[in-house]
Amino acid sequence: MPVLPNIFTTGNLSFGLLSIMTSIQVAAGHGAPAASPEWEFKRLWWAGAFIVISFFFDMLDGRLARFIKHESNFGLSYDSLSDLVSFGVAPAVLLFVSTLMQKSELGLMVVIFYTVCAALRLARFNVQSGNVERFNFTGLPSPMAAGLVVAPLMLLSALRITPDERVIWFYLFATPVVGLLMVSNVIYSKQPTLKLGGPFNALVVAAIIIAAIITNPEIMFIFLVYLYAVSGLLIYIFKYLTGRRGAAEQPHTREEG
């Protein structure tokens, strides 16, 4: 039983590596006669999808460890190292291969900055997980940061749209902002809740969300991750301006997801 959470963490790491390998495959095959645009779009979509799958493994390992009461410093460190690969390196490689490679050194500088911020975010989380970050995250969690980067790329790949200058400049500006959010002091809730007026209303809302995810997964993915990121930032700004800012005391957790 104590090994089970680490098996899920290994799944997180494995799918992160699969995403990196798929992105490299696209870069190696770009321009080759056998690499059609359809093939590239499909591979880029799967490179993003593997990161999403890593996110679900990342959620499961910590919850399982707490459920069976087998949290450990080893599990915390292993989880953070896996997160760096899946939510730091993998999104950066996918973004560079699909979009920012056209800007050469500038694009490379942007993805390196994002990856370094992800590493700093996870290192700080390891230090603060037992006290400062018990109930809330200090800074945007790395899985959500990866979602902000990957979600639009998956939508473009699903629609068979090649990134143009507007998309490139959006990422040149937005990616460093996402990196700064990870290392910021903005407080993000670990378990955001909505008051829906009872179980029946919650069931109706859940049915609507599930139907939307099934029919438009890429659009819903963008909506959910950007809603989480923007709402947390707006709440923090509001509390700062009204003088109610302050980090809540929060439970030991072994993962960010």
Token representation of residue 134: 């018990």
% of the chain exceeding 70 in pLDDT: 88
Give the model's confidence band at 31: pLDDT under 50 very low, under 70 low, under 90 confident, else very high: low
**HSE (side-chain half, CA atoms, 13 Å) at 27:** 17
Q: Is residue 36 part of a domain?
A: yes
Token representation of residue 226: 């950007």
Query: In the predicted model, what is the mean pLDDT of the chain?
Result: 86
Q: Is residue 52 part of a domain?
A: yes
Q: Is residue 181 part of a domain?
A: yes
Q: Is residue 250 part of a domain?
A: no
Q: Is residue 255 part of a domain?
A: no
Q: Is residue 253 part of a domain?
A: no
Domain interval for residue 54 = 4-241
Q: What residues form DSSP beta bridges with 189?
A: 136
Nearest to 254 by CA among 104, 64, 36: 64
* Mean pLDDT calculated for residue range 37-57: 93
pLDDT, tens digit, 9 for 90 and up, residues 53-75:
999 999 888 778 777 777 778 88
pLDDT, tens digit, 9 for 90 and up, residues 134-193:
778 889 999 999 999 999 999 999 999 999 999 999 999 999 999 999 999 999 987 766
Handedness of CA 151, 93, 256, 186 (dihedral sign): negative
> Beta-carbon neighbour count of residue 217 at 10 Å?
15
CA–CA distance, 110 with 104 (Å, rounded to integer): 10
CA–CA distance, 143 with 224 (Å, rounded to integer): 12
Q: Is residue 257 part of a domain?
A: no
What does the pLDDT read at residue 54? 95
What does the pLDDT read at residue 136? 84
Could you please report the per-residue DSSP string of the chain? Answer: -TTHHHHHHHHHHHHHHHHHHHHHHHHHHTT-TT--HHHHHHHHHHHHHHHHHHHHHHHHHHHHHHHTT---HHHHHHHHHHHIIIIIIHHHHHHHHHTGGGGHHHHHHHHHHHHHHHHHHHHHHHHHTTTTTSSEEES--HHHHHHHHHHHHHHHHHTT----HHHHHHHHHHHHHHHHHHTS--EEESS-----SSHHHHHHHHHHHHHHHHH-HHHHHHHHHHHHHHHHHHHHHHHHHTT---PPP----S---
Number of structural domains, the chain?
Answer: 1
Is 0.95 surpassed by the pTM of this model? no
- What values do phi and psi take at 256, rounded to 5? -90, -25
Q: Is residue 33 part of a domain?
A: yes
Determine which of 2-6, 24-28, 226-230, 247-251 has the lowest per-residue pLDDT on average.
247-251
Give the model's confidence band at 229: pLDDT under 50 very low, under 70 low, under 90 confident, else very high: very high
For residue 181, what is the domain's CATH number? Answer: 1.20.120
- What values do phi and psi take at 247, rounded to 5? -80, 130
Residues in Cβ contact with 160 at an 8 Å cutoff, skipping those fewer than 6 apart? 37, 38, 41
